């Protein structure tokens, strides 16, 4: 396994639609998945898409361990997602409700942005052994899946933001995420 170089905002590989994976169980895909998981963990990320490691294929890995996503009152349900490999994903929105939350990205280092996304989704695809994967997700789990799958269509989270005054440096996040004091 190897730690892969992460493409940063502005690199052409992050701006294009990624190609379908013809054989999810191919040995080269299994190697890529292993390297992506190692890279995601090394970078302390919740997810990673193949285009982020300069491979324009429709493949993402993600996880949302409960201890990593403390309940802050926002997105207060379904904070967990097991380590998941999702190849050739399809997302279906299950309701009109939007959830807002702060997002970061390994390809947009040191920044956070407030993004509203559908709060309840179903996703499906294949794992790296060719087995079908299908789950419903809400809260942070749904946010992670949508964020990673956006990479497969050449979209970075700042493009989803409706208020760019909520694009901040991580070092300043404490000012936005601390409890509000009532006057």
Catalytic residues: 148
DSSP 57: B
Q: Which pair of structure tokens corresponds to residue 72?
A: 């802050």
Q: Which residues contact 62 (CB under 8 A, 6 or more apart)?
A: 40, 46, 47, 48, 81, 83, 84, 86, 144, 145, 148
Give the burial class of 94: count Cβ atoms within 10 A of its Cβ; 0-12 exposed, 13-18 middle, 19 or more buried.
Answer: middle
Dihedrals phi, psi of 171, to nearest 5 degrees: -65, -20
Q: Which residues contact 178 (CB under 8 A, 6 or more apart)?
A: none
For residues 9, 138, 95, 72, the Cα torsion angle rounded to the nearest 10 degrees is -80
């Amino acid at each position: 396994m190897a730690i892969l170089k992460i493409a940063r905002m502005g690199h052409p590989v992050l701006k294009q639609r990624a190609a379908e994976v013809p054989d999810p169980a191919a040995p080269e895909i299994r190697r890529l998945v292993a390297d992506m998981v190692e890279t995601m963990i090394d970078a302390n990320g919740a997810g990673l898409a193949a285009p982020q490691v300069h491979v324009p294929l429709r493949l993402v890995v993600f996880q949302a361990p409960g201890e990593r996503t403390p309940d802050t009152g926002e997105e207060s349900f379904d904070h967990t997602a097991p380590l998941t490999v999702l190849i050739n994903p399809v997302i279906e929105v299950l309701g009109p409700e939007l959830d807002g939350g702060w997002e970061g990205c390994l390809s947009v280092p040191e920044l956070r942005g407030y993004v509203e996304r559908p709060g309840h989704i179903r996703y499906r695809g294949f794992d790296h052994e060719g087995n079908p994967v299908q789950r419903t997700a809400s809260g942070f789990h749904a946010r992670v899946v949508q964020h990673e799958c956006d990479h497969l269509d050449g979209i970075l989270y700042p493009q989803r933001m409706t208020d760019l005054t909520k694009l901040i440096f991580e070092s300043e996040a404490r000012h936005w995420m601390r409890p509000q004091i009532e006057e």
